[in-house]
Structure 1
Amino acid sequence: MLAARLHQYDPEMRGPDFLVLEQVPDPAIQEPDDVLVRIDGAGVCRTDLHIIEGLWRERSGVVLPYILGHENAGYVEAVGSAVRSVRPGDPVIVHPLITDGLCPACRRGDDMHCEHSQFPGISRDGGFAEYLLTKERSVVRLPDNLQPRAVAPHADAGLTAYHAAKRAARRLAPGQTAVIIGFGGLGHIAFQVLRLLSPVRIIVVDRSDVALGLARELGAEHTVKAGDDDPVEHVRALTDGHGAEVVLDFVGEGEAIAQGLAMTRRAGAYFVIGYGGTVQIPAIELIAEEKAIIGNLVGTYSELLELITLAAEGKIQLTVSYYPLEQVNLALRDLLAGRVKGRAVLVPGKSG
């Protein structure tokens, strides 16, 4: 099969080709609970850029070269002898983690913290290819009105955004304010989820005109362009000088972290979803203002089911830009340059 593999890290992201397209052996069913998925679409994520930079080098434990891609959806090609929930031909989306179902975290339904998890695209071969080998516990059969490639980013971008927005909604009351920093692949999904779950005012902050245009298309009433003016002052002006009760930071690097913390009002919560930078705050500020800093990691299998239900009902719209698998490096460069509207999705030739 054709696959896009990482052969060496590129800390400066100079490229021009980050991944190598090459023929590799097709994966095959090996264990009774295996599921082989023919990829119809694989989302391109900023985490893929961080992997190429080497940010995951110590955490992933992979040996180069290997296949990236952790937002995967497609059609079941083959199943192991014990698989009962799906069969060949079924459209599926793949939860990004392979979990054992037996550890305490899995037993609690907190499967994203499985003690023995594997992460295709990060800790083993992923879906920037024509086929992906996963497990029955990781696949969700899609409703017939959803095409796999159209919802592939929900496997991580959508799921992560849903998980964060759902947690944030529990802290919000009518009349309060939430800020979304970064209106890319995750931010535009979180915006829609937050509007569904919580009747609050939402302020969108981004430095990209394309992203802010998408925010207005989706109904955002308050947009702030970072870089031209001080977004902190804009947020404070819209909140009588207090700041927002919740700030969801989908950037997590550069000026976004300091600005996100400064936008967060007393007793508010700063949610860290994007990453790449370092959160620094004096301990006295956390104490005196009782701010909470909350990390977010993907989402559970159950939350993926909930998100797909909303998508099938037309309540969550996913903006997608398609690229042939052969143009994987173009997709990565476009993402790096901020030229992708919504989410980039790779489509293998055999999946047409």
Structure 2
Amino acid sequence: MRAWEYDGHRTALVERPDPVPGPGQAVLDVTAAGLCHSDLTLTGRPAESHPFPLPLVLGHEVAGTVRRVGEGVVGVAVGDAVVVHGPWGCGACRRCRVGEENLCPRAQSRGIFPIGLGADGGLAEQVLVPSVRHLVPAHGIAPEQAAPLTDAGLTAYNAVRLSRDAMVEGSTVLVLGIGGLGHLALQLVKHLTPARVVAVDVSAAARDLAAGLGADVVLDPATMPVAEGVRALTDGDGADVVLDFVASGDTLPAAVRSLAPGGELSVVGVGAAAVPVAVKTMPLGSTVRTPYWGPRGDLEEVLALSRQGVLAVHTTSFALEEAERAYELMRTGGLVGRAVVVPGKERS
């Protein structure tokens, strides 16, 4: 099979043996794989900084059809359309037993890593999934939509769910970064809550997308400081919830300055910025969260919202051979929404 492999220095499309499932495992024919800025973060680090072995097949947003299953597999059949719940845990701890493998405290110490972020991923023609408990039915959803929902949709949903109680009538939610995750979070807040949404992005195309998705206010940080704009809209109070999908040196300080006392800040982006969290550096009574992916149950709810037509991923599709071009467009800000690689697609 063909797969995009990262060896610690570069990515390349290589030939690998077709995977063979062992007991309890499954092999999928990949129908779509979403690309993420986390991939760029991973490949931008020195090879020696990674806690997992290289080379590694990239791709942690995966949709596919079951090609083969191993001995003892039940509940999954050849031909099933599925997606992969990507944050793999030990499967036995308290968190894992309730479906929160994204918060497993034992995984890394036991050499268990997420798909595409330590374990071989789905930016390939086939992928091996080590346990069928990681597979979630995805019938009725186009693969190009389903794949990004496993991270971009799931992470956005988790962030919104954790702060949903604060998104009441009359509240203001600030969404920083209307990219692959942010444009989905915007839709979720608008559908699930009565809160007012203020969307911010440096890209005019992303701001246009936010307006088209129903953002109540769209701000251009180049024309007005974010915190100043938010406080003008809230009689000086600030936003009740801030969702930062960038976490850069520009967005994270703006997030803190925009937050109301008693407000909730979710730092979701993988940018390298940091802010001090202390009584005198944060608004009084504020809460800071760092959502990471989400539980399996959240993914099931995200897929249900997609089937209902509530949640739509803005995508640009690429053939398998074009993945490097897609990554370059992501690096340079040339894409709006999510890039999705479709192995069966012809090169454009």
TM-score range, shorter chain: over 0.9
2:164 aligned with 1:164: no
Aligned mates of 1:208, 1:49 — CA distance in 2: 19
Check the 8 A contact 1:39/1:351 in 2, yes or no: no
Corresponding residue number in structure 2 for 1:14: none
Aligned pairs for 1:173-252 within 5 A:
173-252=168-247
Are the structure 2 counterparts of residues 139 and 241 from structure 1 closer, same or farther at C-alpha, using a change threshold of 3 Å? same
Equivalent-residue separation in structure 2 for 1:207 and 1:56 (angstroms) = 31
- Residues 218-253 of structure 1 show CA distances to partners (whole Å, capped at 9, x for unaligned) of 111200112332121111111111110000000011
Partner of 2:120: 125
Compare 106-115 and 82-91 and name the one that shifted more.
106-115
Q: What is aligned with 1:26?
A: 18
Aligned match of 1:3: 3
Correspondence for 1:98: 88
| 2:242–2:264 Cα contact (<8 Å) kept | yes
Partner of 2:71 in structure 1? 81
What SS is found at the alignment partner of 2:163? helix
Tell me which residue corresponds to 1:138: 134
The residue aligned with 1:12 is none
Structure 2 SS opposite 1:185: coil
Q: How far apart, in 1, do the equivalents of 2:211 and 2:269 lie?
A: 22
Tell me the amino acid that sits aligned with residue 34 of structure 1. Answer: Q
1:282 shift after superposition? 6.0
When structure 1 is superposed on structure 2, of 162-171 and 41-50 the one drifting more is 162-171
Please list the CA deviations of residues 295-317 of structure 1 after superposition, one character each: whole Å capped at 9, or x if unmatched. Answer: 11000011100110110111111
Matched, 1:335 2:335: no
Q: Distance in 2 between matches of 1:319 and 1:257?
A: 25
Q: Distance in 1 between matches of 2:342 and 2:189?
A: 30
Distance 1:57 1:126, change over 3 A: farther
CA RMSD of aligned residues (A): 1.9
Separation in 1 of the partners of 2:56 and 2:268? Answer: 25
Structure 1: which 5+ runs fail to align?
10-17
Contact 1:130 1:351 in 2 (8 A): no
**C-alpha distance in 1 between matches for 2:239 and 2:341:** 36
* Structure 1 CA distance for aligned equivalents of residues 222 and 35 of structure 2: 25
Could you say if the C-alpha distance between residues 19 and 286 of structure 1 is closer, same or farther in structure 2, counting changes exceeding 3 Å? same
Deviation at 1:351, TM superposition (A): 10
1:298–1:109 distance in 2 versus 1, CA, 3 Å: same
Q: In structure 1, what is the Cα distance between the partners aligned to 2:91 and 2:158? A: 20
Does residue 40 of the first structure (1) align with residue 36 of the second (2)?
no
Q: CA deviation at 1:56?
A: 9.1
CA distance in 1, matches of 2:275, 2:38: 22
SS at match of 1:165: helix
Instruction: Tell me what 2:314 maps to.
Output: 319
Any conservation in 1 of the 2:8–2:46 contact (CA below 8 Å)? no
Corresponding residue for residue 15 of structure 1: none
Q: Match of 1:120, SS?
A: coil
Q: What percentage of aligned pairs have identical amino acids?
A: 34
Q: Flag as ranges the 4+ runs of structure 1 deviating above 4 A.
A: none
**Could you tell me which amino acid in structure 1 is paired with residue 135 of structure 2?**
V
Q: Is the 8 A contact 2:318 2:345 kept in 1?
A: no
Q: Which runs of 5+ in 2 are unaligned?
A: none
Conservation of the 8 A alpha-carbon contact between 1:126 and 1:132: yes
Contact 2:176 2:243 in 1 (8 A): yes
SS at match of 1:262: helix
2: CA distance, partners of 1:235 / 1:266: 14
What's the TM-score once normalised by structure 2's chain length? 0.93
Q: 1:350: Cα distance to partner? A: 7.8
Paired residues of 2:145 and 2:312 also in contact (CA < 8 A):
no
TM-score by length of 1: 0.92
Letter in 1 for 2:19: P
Choose the corresponding residue for 2:280, options 285, 294, 302: 285
Helix, strand or coil at the partner of 1:349: coil
Residue 212 of structure 1: how far off its partner (Å)? 0.7
Note the C-alpha offset of 1:142: 1.3
Pairwise CA distance, 1:98? 2.8
